[in-house]
Structure 1
Amino acid sequence: MAETAEKPERPIRAAGCVLWRRSPLDGELEIALVHRPKYDDWSHPKGKLKRGESALDGAVREVAEETGMRCRPGAPLPTAHYVVAGRPKEVRYWAAEATGGAFSPNTEVDRLLWLPPAPARNRLTHDRDRSLIDALLDAFRLPDRRP
């Protein structure tokens, strides 16, 4: 009797950005976080890729859809790997500077916050998202200013 090896399930492919800007008040670094009412969580803007879409194009599209912001992608950040409903998910991330736009709440994202790195890290719901702030700071060699 021949054994049949189960084919590993293909991961859900997604992409997003750690969106940042300089505060209009004092020039300090601020990071955008989105609140998703469906999950009642705070995260970085991200979403599933469309068929044939590159990860970078998907990341920029998701930032626009979820935050209303245009952005300039920069350094690649670590890829997140986790399981959703029993299926592996892979989310590629980039640092991205906000270059303009305006947020409008919608059914997917009802709130957007711009926070300094330490408060942003504390507001994020998932640990895996917190390490992306550290990676952003490392990419730009920016001070953390943890409390």
Structure 2
Amino acid sequence: MPEQPVRTDYVCLTLVDPRGWFLMQERDEHAPVWPDTWCFPGGGLEPGESPRDGALRELAEETGIEPAPGEAHDLGEFEVASPHGRFRYHAFAAPTELGDRDVDCQEGRQIVFVDPAVVDDLPLVDSTRRVLHALRTWAADHTPAPGPDARAFAGVVLVDRRGWILLQERDEHPLIDPDCWGLSGGHLEPGEQPRDGALRELEEETGVRLAATDVHELGVFANDHRESYGTWDRMWVYAAAVDLTDDDIDCREGRQIVFVDPATVPGLRLTRGAEGIVPAFLRSDLYASMAP
């Protein structure tokens, strides 16, 4: 059987937000190939079109987003097999400060930013899986950081003897994420260290006083507060294992502050920050060391 020709006319362009999340498209059941799978925005080149120009055009057609040509970084070409033969797939990536609400999904079931920690668990198009290593390598050095106007926040997650985590249900009054579930925490005061601010916020909101040595740092997370403040902000997150119950919590802010079964977290409406922070914590070795 003669060898199938290799076409070189497919491209993709994904965006990487300040959390390090990737813009991806969930294909629907009507897709001519690879239905009900996930991929990066992209498609076929038009005659005479360069790969970079084609990738930018496809992104604009599918999402309404138009990065400048100089923002599209070349990740290279990848040879992929499909039901219609082998082809070469040229991939690009670009940093962005946009979010899901800035995406006008014009193709597929949805186009959203996806946590790279869960990407490998999705049903992926073969070409997308081939690009992932190069994308992760590039994103490690090029994920955009919150700007100089970024606000600083800190918060604490407590873990009880069951492995349940303390979360706050916000009421209708906050400027940020009303009627959502999130961490106990808030703004750092001028000159305040993140750990000190996290402990202060925890005590102010719950009455629980911990020593600095009781909490362990999970990390620093980018939070999308553009709708409220116009900025992507930073949040330092800490965790502690405690021998407490709901009866020990004095809810001083929000609708309630209670220990929550991690199994119920996917059904909660989380704050923008908690959407990334809580799953990351529950996947972490730090949580594993605190849970039964």
Structure with max Cα Rg: 2
Q: Deviations over 1:6-42 (max 9, x none)?
A: 68635151111122112xxxxx211111012122111
Alignment of 1:103-114 (within 5 A): 103-106=103-106, 108-114=107-113
Alignment of 1:7-26 (within 5 A): 9-22=5-18
Q: CA deviation at 1:127?
A: 4.9
Q: CA deviation at 1:51?
A: 0.5
Gap change, CA 1:31 and 1:65, over 3 Å in 2: same
Alignment of 1:22-101 (within 5 A): 22=18, 28-37=19-28, 38=31, 39-72=35-68, 73-98=71-96
Letter in 1 for 2:54: G
Q: 1:7 and 1:122 mapped to 2: Cα distance?
A: 33
Q: 2:43 and 2:49 mapped to 1: Cα distance?
A: 12
Letter in 1 for 2:102: A
Q: CA deviation at 1:49?
A: 0.2
Letter in 2 for 1:89: F
SS in 1 for 2:92: strand
Q: Deviations over 1:53-106 (max 9, x none)?
A: 100000011111112222243431132212333422111011112365833333
Q: Higher RCO, 1 or 2 (CA under 8 Å, sep at least 6)? A: 1
Q: 2:96 and 2:36 mapped to 1: Cα distance?
A: 24
Partner in structure 2 of residue 3 of structure 1: none
Letter in 2 for 1:111: Q
Q: Which has the higher strand share?
A: 1
Q: CA deviation at 1:109?
A: 2.1
Letter in 2 for 1:97: P
Gap change, CA 1:89 and 1:97, over 3 Å in 2: same
Question: TM-score normalized by structure 1?
Answer: 0.73
Q: 2:117 and 2:37 mapped to 1: Cα distance?
A: 17
Q: 2:92 and 2:79 mapped to 1: Cα distance?
A: 15
Q: Percent identity?
A: 23
Partner in structure 2 of residue 121 of structure 1: 120
Q: 1:9 and 1:127 mapped to 2: Cα distance?
A: 18
Partner in structure 2 of residue 25 of structure 1: none
Letter in 2 for 1:138: T
Question: TM-score normalized by structure 2?
Answer: 0.40
Q: Is the 8 A contact 1:34 1:67 kept in 2?
A: no
Q: CA deviation at 1:138?
A: 1.5
